[in-house]
Amino acid sequence: EMAEKGGFPHFMLKEIFEQPRVLRDAIHGNAEIIRDVAREIANYDKIFIVAMGTSYHAGLVGKYLLQRLAKKVPFVEDASEFRYEFEDLVDEDSLVIAITQSGETADTLAAMKLAKKKGAKVLAIVNVVGSMATRIADLTLYTHAGPEIGVAATKTYTTQLAVLTMLAIELARVLGTADEEYLKGLEESLREVPDLVEGSILNLSEPLRELAESLKDREDFFYIGRGIGLPTALEGALKLKEISYIHAEGLSAGELKHGPLALIEDGVPVVAIAPNGKTFDKMVSNIEEAKARGAYVISIGSSEKLREVSDTFIKMPNVDEVLSPIPYVVPLQLLAYHLAVLRGNDPDKPRNLAKSVTVE
């Protein structure tokens, strides 16, 4: 088994380290097809993104990408909700984008079947070749991440983000909703993201293990973000719950004041996702607000300003905000992994959870 894990103690760590390579595969593997797919879906204005778990968080990132680049406003629904609440609203003018690593998640498949029955166009973003989702969908984009054994999704998430980014860029091009030069620049930067992720993993794994050591007895974590950083906060919290069994909440930083702040007391870890961009200054205020209540703030971003206002600063490469979800989730994966191991859990096989949920 050690051989299968390529010398890593767990599949999850191996899969985290595989991200630079599979991101390259996802980008190269979709370079041609993305154009045709973008053209086929460009005219839909009623767009639903359906998924569960980590794939749902990818869907949330997809929403921000489509809004920012293609000026489309999709609904993102957890597939188990979509099935019942959108039954009468999905029709032949709708585009349903289903995101599923396994292509076998019961609720996601049911949502796709419903969409097909109502005459909607269905695009699937899938990792497992030939899975059920690919057979239901009209169009499929593959994430090319290779088999993922760890129950908690890592490399399949970042490759989903790469595919969604490419799709949003191409849609923006087809629709003329963004400047071509800007889009070209984004594409170039996206191609550099795998190298950036590589550097981050190598530089951050050990410091994050040390950080995990100091936080391993904490029972509540908060993850805050804004805009396109928000899904990263949600995904960071999910990773922690799944494998470390630590209670974690991901929320919009603006919501902090509306309740959760009452839970912040001395030493409570608050992880702040703070890429440079529209809401950076607002994030700094939220960090200060949490710190004033005694929070232990771990900030993730590229501005040195964060070093001054945080207890721990995790430095990220400076990328366009729309590309930040890919590199920014990596330290959160590593933090959850190290916390799980330090707490004596098997991160590959968390209690009560399954890799794919094929029953409802």
Q: Contact positions toward ligand G6P, by CB under 6 A?
A: 52-55, 100-102, 105, 108, 151-153, 353, 355-357
Rounded to whole angstroms, how far apart are CA atoms 136 and 133?
A: 5
Q: Which amino acid is at 187?
A: E
Q: Identify whether the C-beta of residue 161 lies closer than 8 Å to the C-beta of residue 232.
A: no
* Nearest CB to ligand G6P, comparing residues 54 and 302: 54
Shortest Å, Cβ 114 to ligand G6P = 16
* Nearest CB to ligand G6P, comparing residues 183 and 357: 357
Within 10 angstroms of residue 184's Cβ, the number of other Cβ atoms is 12
CB proximity list for 86: less than 8 A, separation 6 or greater: 48, 75, 77
3-state helix, strand, coil in the chain (%, to 5): 55, 15, 30
Shortest Å, Cβ 55 to ligand G6P = 4
Residue 216 exposed, middle or buried by CB count within 10 Å (0-12, 13-18, 19+) = middle
Rounded to whole angstroms, how far apart are CA atoms 60 and 74?
A: 9
Shortest Å, Cβ 105 to ligand G6P = 3
Strand order in 247-252's β-sheet? Answer: 247-252, 220-225, 269-273, 296-301, 312-315
Strand order in 121-126's β-sheet? Answer: 75-78, 46-51, 94-100, 121-126, 139-142
Shortest Å, Cβ 333 to ligand G6P = 12
| Residue least distant from ligand G6P (Cβ) | 53
* Nearest CB to ligand G6P, comparing residues 107 and 287: 107
Shortest Å, Cβ 129 to ligand G6P = 13
Report DSSP state, residue 61.
Answer: H
Rounded to whole angstroms, how far apart are CA atoms 161 and 329?
A: 11
Shortest Å, Cβ 57 to ligand G6P = 8
* Nearest CB to ligand G6P, comparing residues 2 and 359: 359
* Nearest CB to ligand G6P, comparing residues 235 and 319: 235
Rounded to whole angstroms, how far apart are CA atoms 80 and 108?
A: 7
Q: Check if 116 is active-site.
A: no
* Nearest CB to ligand G6P, comparing residues 79 and 272: 79
Q: Can you give the C-alpha Rg of the chain in angstroms?
A: 19
The catalytic site residues sit at 355
